């Protein structure tokens, strides 16, 4: 895929800014970063240009853009080769239609409860119009399935696969827009806790599925509960040997986990303000973003292959993962149009090597 210029929707936000920085370091791409605030977009572009590897190279342009305005969005898409979605509050259907009309590719790092269902509706139109749409990108939720696939390449007869995730961030130092925290709360409301066991999805009901995990010597043990990721269903279809698949995630802090989360899942009332308060008020160090995966065979569980990917800064790991993905796209000669998921599309061995090279802590 030949990309020379990318648009980053939400390029002034926490994730978008980190991705822009990493792309300037690792590629020769030109970037357009957008914000709903013109002054913020221009200021951030100047900051990125001043600290790129080629000082004052002016590879970044900042623009004001309302991404749900299709006329504005299509006008900007016609100036670039592809778009990275790092903004909240985006109408997925309008975005898909704009991509189809302009025939532009998309890397989408959002985790959104309705997004995947909407995108599936447009899959055939993506194919017809040669649009490559890579969803569930970045480190979460895009990394756990990729780690499992990495291990299955080395232990193809494994029938057990487990991934563990802990995202412990200093939420106080990261400002959120109203739409970002609202989408975050909505995702937690529709959280599903199931595991794949003997060819069917079952609800969690025993000690085996929930576990205390030691991610790091400084972090302590974290209770992790199963969650269903969008790519997990396709993973078990692609690897029919798998009899048990469990993707587990640790909580945030006791107030959010045992007070706010249960209320969120019990009601449809908007509780995003309560969630933001709980994250910022009660999250305490040590901080870091941790991913683990392991595979084994039921005939001999002592032979287990494991991998961990960690970084102290969650947004930095998101940027590293997204950049590793873009680097693979740039080296892919034959584009496969349609809707894809990062955890299933990316080549895992090269991806992990790129994470390591760019500063993530990788242990196998």
pLDDT of residue 207: 67
Cα gap 238→80, rounded to integer Å = 34
- Look at residue 261 in the predicted model and tell me its pLDDT: 83
Distance of alpha carbon 238 from alpha carbon 149, whole angstroms: 10
Q: Which of the pair, 112 or 348, is modelled with greater confidence?
A: 348
* pLDDT at site 268: 64
The pTM for the full model equals 0.93
Q: Where are the alpha helices (DSSP H) in 53-169?
A: 70-77, 92-102, 115-128, 143-154
Q: What is the pLDDT of residue 218?
A: 78
CATH of domain 143-313: 3.30.360.10
Q: What percent of the chain has pLDDT over 90?
A: 67
pLDDT band at residue 153 using 50, 70 and 90 as cut-offs: very high
> Between 168 and 180, where is the model more confident?
168
What value does the mean pLDDT take over residues 281-305? 91
**Ranges of each domain in the chain:** 5-135, 143-313
In this predicted structure, the answer to whether residue 348 has a pLDDT above a threshold of 90 is: yes
Region 1-5: mean pLDDT is 93
Who's near 28: CB < 8 A, 6+ residues apart? none
Confidence tier at 173 by pLDDT (50, 70, 90): confident
Task: Tell me the pLDDT of the chain averaged across its residues.
Answer: 91
- The confidence score (pLDDT) of residue 300 equals 81
pLDDT for 37: 92
Query: By percentage, how much of the chain surpasses pLDDT 70?
Result: 96
* pLDDT on residue 269: 66
Cα dist. 270→87, 183, 257 in Å? 20, 10, 17
pLDDT tens, position by position, 40-73: 999 999 999 987 666 556 899 999 999 999 999 9
Is the torsion defined by CA of 2, 359, 33, 105 positive or negative? positive
DSSP state of 260: I
SS3 261: helix
pLDDT in tens, 137-148: 999 988 999 999
DSSP reduced 3-state for 135 = strand
Q: Residues 292, 295, 297, CA angle at the centre, nearest 5°?
A: 160
The CATH number of domain 5-135 is 1.25.40.10: no
Residue range 171-196: mean pLDDT, rounded: 82
Check residues 262 and 350 and name the one with the higher pLDDT. 350
* Residues forming beta bridges with residue 224, ordered by sequence position: 211, 250
Which range among 73-87, 143-157, 184-198, 280-294 shows the weakest confidence by mean pLDDT? Answer: 184-198
pLDDT at position 53 is 64
SS3 content of the chain, % helix, strand, coil (to 5): 40, 25, 35
Which pLDDT belongs to residue 208? 73
Nearest to 209 by CA among 199, 198, 220, 195: 195
């Amino acid at each position: 895929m030949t990309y020379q210029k990318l648009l980053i929707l939400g390029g002034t936000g926490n994730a978008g800014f980190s991705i822009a920085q990493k792309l300037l370091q690792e590629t020769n791409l030109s970037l357009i970063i957008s914000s709903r605030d013109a002054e913020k977009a221009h200021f951030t572009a100047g900051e990125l240009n001043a600290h790129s590897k080629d000082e004052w190279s002016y590879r970044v342009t900042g623009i004001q853009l309302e991404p749900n305005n299709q006329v504005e969005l299509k006008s900007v898409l016609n100036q670039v080769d592809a778009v990275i979605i790092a903004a909240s509050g985006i109408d997925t259907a309008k975005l898909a239609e704009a991509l189809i009309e302009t025939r532009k590719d998309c890397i989408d790092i959002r985790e959104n409860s309705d997004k995947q269902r909407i995108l599936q509706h447009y899959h055939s139109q993506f194919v017809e119009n040669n649009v490559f749409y890579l969803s569930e990108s970045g480190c979460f939720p895009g990394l756990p399935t990729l780690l499992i696939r990495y291990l299955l390449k080395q232990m193809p007869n494994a029938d057990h696969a487990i991934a563990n995730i802990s995202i412990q961030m200093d939420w106080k130092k990261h400002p959120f827009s109203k739409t970002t925290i609202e989408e975050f709360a909505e995702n937690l409301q529709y959280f599903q806790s199931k595991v794949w066991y003997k060819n069917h999805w079952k609800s969690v009901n025993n000690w085996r599925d929930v576990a205390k995990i030691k991610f790091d010597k400084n972090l302590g043990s974290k209770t992790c509960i199963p969650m269903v990721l969008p790519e997990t269903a396709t993973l078990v279809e692609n690897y029919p040997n798998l009899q048990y698949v469990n993707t587990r995630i640790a909580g945030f802090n006791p107030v959010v986990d045992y007070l706010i989360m249960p209320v969120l899942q019990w009601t449809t009332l908007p509780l995003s303000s309560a969630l933001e308060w709980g994250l910022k008020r009660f999250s305490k160090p040590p901080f870091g973003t941790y991913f683990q995966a392991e595979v084994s065979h039921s005939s001999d569980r002592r032979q287990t292959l494991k991998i961990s990917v960690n970084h102290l800064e969650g947004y930095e790991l998101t940027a590293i993962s997204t950049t590793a993905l873009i680097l693979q796209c740039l080296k892919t000669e034959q584009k496969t149009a349609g809707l894809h998921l990062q955890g299933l599309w990316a080549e895992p061995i090269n991806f992990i090597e790129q994470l390591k090279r760019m500063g993530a802590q990788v242990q196998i």
